[in-house]
Amino acid sequence: MNATAEATCVYGAKIIQRHLVAMAAEVEGVRTAADIEYVHQMRVATRRMRTALALFSGCFPKQDYKKIQKDVRKVTRALGEARDLDVQLEVIEAAILEFTDPKLQPGLKRLKLRLTQRRAEVQQHVEAAMDRMLADQLIELLENWVKPLLEQSKTVYLYTPALYQLAFQGIQVRIEELLSHVPYISDPQNVLELHAMRISAKRLRYAMETFEELYAGQLKPFISTSRKLQDQLGAIHDLDVWIAFIPQFIEEERARIVDYFGNPRPLRRLLPGLEAFRQSCIDKREATYREFLADWAEIEKGKTWNNLLKLINTPLDLEAALRAIEPEDKEEQQTAPSVD
């Protein structure tokens, strides 16, 4: 490994170590399910880890990289349904307090019951995922890779042109990915594209956070913009899920009720609350979507992504300029008269 590549990998090791510590800190809490934040923080840490691994993949032996990335992805996916259910339960608990009409309560409480039961089932999968991660020695494998590189961090100059080039490429490709969804956002029915755009905004944000140290805080406004986009599109997606899920839930409850009572009549007391909640989701979805479109128009008006590209390209332009004038400086030194 040459000095330039070594410096890039040392910087990468610092970033990966940060996410590794975050992952290790949540393992026991995820297993006990004492607080929903453990699952949330572990899932975020694994997603950030996956971004960092992708950005610094060239620092790993090919087979090691494939195994590590695969193992981290397994953890992220295993936690996905658990986190989604945790969020849904929070929403339903808030709705039970919001919809005070007694006629609306039975349907909402039934929905909370079913989600609670499902969350308990999913916890078994979560615990199994933690067991697999420990058995695969994922944390130890990453620690063994990180340790020798971190030992060099005090003696290696990190901020090389190659690192800035990696930052530019990593952020640029994620800007392009985000913008590839723009042709679809004017149609509110493009549910899948809006969700994909949220994922792209998240990936862009994580890439900027990875290289934030290189730009002395100048990436913060762009990170905030990406975070707001991610939150808005995430809210839209969550509401889309509810809007599609409630009719399915009603049919599942109908089948349970008919199987138990022999007729669907008891379902009638559940419908007012479920239908009111779904209509509330539809109204919130429309309002959130309008807000997103207005904010996106401001982002485009402000040429946000062009400004970001200019910012991350500046160190590369400076390096090129210095290389261009270097021969002239040498020539001047050679032709300048000596002074005794």
Residue 336 has pLDDT above 90, yes or no: no
- 163 and 303 housed in the same domain: yes
Nearest in space to 16 (alpha carbons), one of 146, 125, 156, 126: 146
pLDDT of residue 316: 64
pLDDT of residue 5: 78
pLDDT tens profile 141-175: 999 999 999 998 888 888 899 999 999 999 999 99
- 136 and 11 housed in the same domain: yes
Residue 214 has pLDDT above 50, yes or no: yes
- 131 and 204 housed in the same domain: no
Domain enclosing residue 176, as ranges: 159-322
Residue 30 has pLDDT above 50, yes or no: yes
pLDDT of residue 64: 87
Neighbours of 23 (CB within 10 A): 23
- 95 and 220 housed in the same domain: no
pTM greater than 0.85 = yes
d(CA 31, CA 9): 32
Residue 328 has pLDDT above 50, yes or no: no
Residue 332 included in any domain: no
Q: Which two tokens stand for residue 53?
A: 């691994």
Residue 131 included in any domain: yes
* End position of a domain, from candidates 105, 130, 155: 155
CATH number, domain of 16, equals 1.40.20.10
Task: DSSP for 55-79, please give it.
Answer: HTGGGS-HHHHHHHHHHHHHHHHHH
* End position of a domain, from candidates 117, 139, 155: 155
- 151 and 167 housed in the same domain: no
* End position of a domain, from candidates 112, 131, 155: 155
Angle at the Cα of 110 (from 108 to 116), degrees rounded to 5? Answer: 105
Q: Quote the distance between the C-alpha of residue 236 and its chain's center.
A: 16
- 146 and 237 housed in the same domain: no
Residue 252 included in any domain: yes
Cβ atoms of 214 and 164 closer than 8 Å: yes
Residue 222 identity (one-letter amino acid): F
pLDDT tens profile 86-130: 999 999 999 999 999 999 999 999 999 999 999 999 999 999 989
* Mean pLDDT estimate for the chain: 91
Long-range contact list for 60-68, CB < 8 A, 24+ apart? 60/145, 64/141, 64/145, 67/141, 68/138, 68/141, 68/142
Residue 247 included in any domain: yes
Residue 300 has pLDDT above 90, yes or no: yes
Q: How many domains does the chain have?
A: 2
Residue 330 included in any domain: no
